Structure 1
Amino acid sequence: MPPTLAPSLRAETLTSGEQFRAAASLYTRVFGYDRPEFSLNPNLLSALARNGGSAVGVYTVDDELVGFAYGFAGRDHDGSEFHYSQAAVVDAAYQGAGVGRLAKEHQRTVALGWGHRTMRWTFDPVLARNAHFNFSSLRGEGVAFVPDYYGRPGTDRVVVEWALDRDDDPYADLRRAEPPRLGRADWGRVTRAEAARPDGGVQDAAWVAIPAQATALSDDDEEQASHDRVRARLRESLTRLVAEGSILVACTRIDESTAAYMAVRRSKGEAA
């Protein structure tokens, strides 16, 4: 069914073995995993959902599962507690239909029900579309950067933190700021430029350009080398910005080829 039926979609908490198996199957299909170590155990989903975690699905009017997210209770080395969202997946036929937003919002409800006030998850920093969703749609912030997050090359990740019960977004105006005119030559590099605020003020900011489309980096040898260079520069840039105490608050498309992260110092009153 086409995404035009999005208003008929509903989100719910998964509870049955059949639902957990369907979610595991969707997860494997969307990510294209064909190795058993990357599969998802339905029993694990059930245990997580019963013990501080989440397993939520998005269904069509015909009860077809087209979206899924799951997570668990987390705690960092500083003792901060949060709900950690391990994955959210959307059927390819429903990309752009609001399925991901619906899944995340229901996962938020589940997390609040467990007493969690923040949610965290990670994403690949070269994926501009994911970044825009995390920062501009959900109003989360990129609070950390971890090279080789999953212990293997090519798994650098930005850690997103989402304040689940925050009434006012302290970065709302900055998320709408226009980035400088950056292009392919700037991919992965830091550019310092002030951001104009709607009230006429300005904000010191750092911008990091990335490909606007993941497909901008193909798999042939020359393009793969370019891909690796961009990732290496991006790793260096994000590591430096986080070390300076900056957080990511926006990812805005500049043109068909380039998007840019905006990094700023954390607003006063926002917990580190």
Structure 2
Amino acid sequence: MSEIVVRPLTELAEFDQCVQLQDAVWSYDVASMVTQKVFLLASHIGGQVIGAYAGDVLAGYAMSLPGIRNGKPYLHSHHLAVLPEFRNAGVGRRLKLAQRDDAVARGIELMEWTFDPLEIKNANLNIAKLGAVIRRYKRNFYGDSVSPLHGGLPTDRIIAEWWLTSERVTKALAKEPFAGVVKGSVTVPAQIGSWKSHDAERPKAAAAQQAIANGLEQAFAQGQAVIGFEVDAEGNGKYLLGDWSEGEAR
């Protein structure tokens, strides 16, 4: 495999590659696609479009848009996509670190993104390896989806808050052990991906999604946050719940 080079994307031809990679990963219908012009706009209004190249092949990209939260600028990372043949090679992590480097250089403290709470690998990356915290759950956030990755389920999402220069994040990036008082947990079954992929077992996936939504929403309503994530020997994922406040991010 060629060496991976991570760099900003600025040219229309590069944005065309992003659109093609998006289609390869999600197989969206035309109405759901992010177009070349949106990638171009993101790169010109204070957002980010960052690519990971293996030779001439765009192996992955990350795209974010600028926003304002509580009167302060932040970045919303809308897309992170990696070709299947480049997964498990650290490409996603490198793209996130490139986003962080750029944001910190601009004085931005916070990056957010949504992700599917049923995706164990994504949760492990976002929470355990990057140090994000979770305090919000959004049911069917993007509406109905035809992408086979979603298995016909509602597009429920949780929102990762990545406080870029916080002690929590710097420790996670340094691979220091998780430290926090765990007051509860919510489990994602290891079989969830298989259940979503097979019509006969999809009701199991729907039931698991409902249970996870109820568990996380109840914890968030009580003022708790997801402060850690574990994967057990059987491959089950576990959201670890505890106290957290924005004061800890500073």
Same fold (TM over 0.5): yes
Partner of 1:22: 17
Partner of 1:102: 94
Of the structure 1 ranges 21-30 and 104-113, higher mean CA displacement relative to structure 2 is found in 104-113
Q: 1:204 to 1:164 in 2, by over 3 A?
A: closer
Q: Distance in 2 between matches of 1:268 and 1:163?
A: 9
Contact 1:139–1:162 (8 Å) recurs in 2: yes
Partner of 1:54: 48
Q: Do structure 1's residue 261 and structure 2's residue 246 form an aligned pair?
A: no
Of the structure 1 ranges 19-28 and 251-260, higher mean CA displacement relative to structure 2 is found in 251-260
Q: 1:229 to 1:168 in 2, by over 3 A?
A: closer
Contact 1:216–1:257 (8 Å) recurs in 2: no
- Offset at 1:270? 2.0
Partner of 1:164: 164
Partner of 2:36: 42
CA deviation map 1:93-131 (0-9, x unaligned) = 110111101111112223234432110001100111100
**C-alpha RMSD over aligned residues:** 2.4
Partner of 1:11: 6
- Offset at 1:11? 0.7
Q: State the one-letter code of the partner of 1:249.
A: I
Q: State the one-letter code of the partner of 1:240.
A: Q
Partner of 2:57: 64
CA deviation map 1:184-207 (0-9, x unaligned) = xxxxxxxxxxxxx6xxxx824211
Q: State the one-letter code of the partner of 1:235.
A: A
TM-score, scaled to structure 1: 0.80
Q: State the one-letter code of the partner of 1:26.
A: L
Contact 2:162–2:169 (8 Å) recurs in 1: no
Q: State the one-letter code of the partner of 2:216.
A: L
Unaligned runs of 5+ in 2: 145-152
Partner of 2:217: 239
Contact 1:208–1:260 (8 Å) recurs in 2: yes
- Offset at 1:163? 1.3
TM-score, scaled to structure 2: 0.86
Q: How many pairs are equivalent?
A: 239
Unaligned runs of 5+ in 1: 178-196
Of Structure 1 and Structure 2, the greater helix share is in 2
SS in 2 for 1:84: strand
- Offset at 1:18? 0.7
Partner of 1:228: 206
SS in 2 for 1:44: helix
What does residue range 147-162 of structure 1 map to in structure 2 within 5 Å? 147-152=139-144, 154-162=154-162
Q: Distance in 1 between matches of 2:47 and 2:246?
A: 31
The share of aligned pairs that are identical, in percent, is 26
What does residue range 85-234 of structure 1 map to in structure 2 within 5 Å? 85-152=77-144, 154-167=154-167, 169=169, 176=177, 203-212=181-190, 214-234=192-212
Q: 1:99 to 1:37 in 2, by over 3 A?
A: same
SS in 2 for 1:132: helix
Q: Distance in 1 between matches of 2:15 and 2:121?
A: 28
Q: Distance in 2 between matches of 1:86 and 1:122?
A: 7
